[in-house]
Structure 1
Amino acid sequence: MNKYKKLILGLILDALGLVSFIIPGIGEFSDIVWAPISGWLMTKLYVGKAGKVAGFISLVEEGLPGFDVIPTFTLMWLYTYVIKKETPEINA
């Protein structure tokens, strides 16, 4: 997947994580469902050890109340392509 498509997808997924703030009461239930999905998606977007660590962080961040404002997918993209300067996969 192109790194910029991954960024756009990450921004969308981070926005989905904020839904719990929009719907009071129901939002916390959505975190219970969203947290494991978020962690799993993170491990699929970013393979290897970094992806597994980020997946766990995403699971915890989405599962804890009040931490939904942290843009985990966007931060992982920044880590991968700006800080670590990884080149995109050719065959992905």
Structure 2
Amino acid sequence: MRVLNYNLLFKGILFDLIGVATMSIPVVGPFLDLAWAPYAAKKMGEMYPGRNGKIASVLVFIEEILPFTDIIPSFTLMWVYTFLIKTEKDVRTIPIRVKN
């Protein structure tokens, strides 16, 4: 049974709304994106550790820094991918030494 982390979903929706809100401010909005993009990328990496989180962090940075792409809900899409689409378990194997 898969456990869905709704705290990450709510936090992601909030970050997506903040990203869209910067687009709604006429003159200052694009300059706010310059500050928001690195912060959003950092938060994405913290929320989703590992390789997928690093890739999503780069993508959210690019999405937030480019004009007119703020409407893409990056954080929500990452949650959907992580908890609803991705089927493989993120299991790390550690070798165990066995004495003969």
- When normalised by structure 2's length, the TM-score is 0.82
Query: What are structure 1's unaligned runs of at least 5 residues?
Result: 88-92
Tell me, which stretches of 5 or more residues in structure 2 are unaligned?
90-100
CA shift for structure 1 position 86: 7.0
What is the RMSD computed on CA atoms of the aligned residues?
1.4
From 22, 25, 28, the equivalent of 1:26 is 28
Which one has the bigger helix percentage? 1
Instruction: Pick the aligned partner of 2:69 from 67, 70, 84.
Output: 67
Structure (1 or 2) with the larger CA radius of gyration: 2
What letter is aligned with 2:21? V
Q: Which runs of 4+ in 1 moved over 3 A?
A: none
Give the TM-score taking structure 1 as reference length. 0.88
* Equivalent residues, number: 86
- Counting aligned pairs with the same residue, the percent is 42
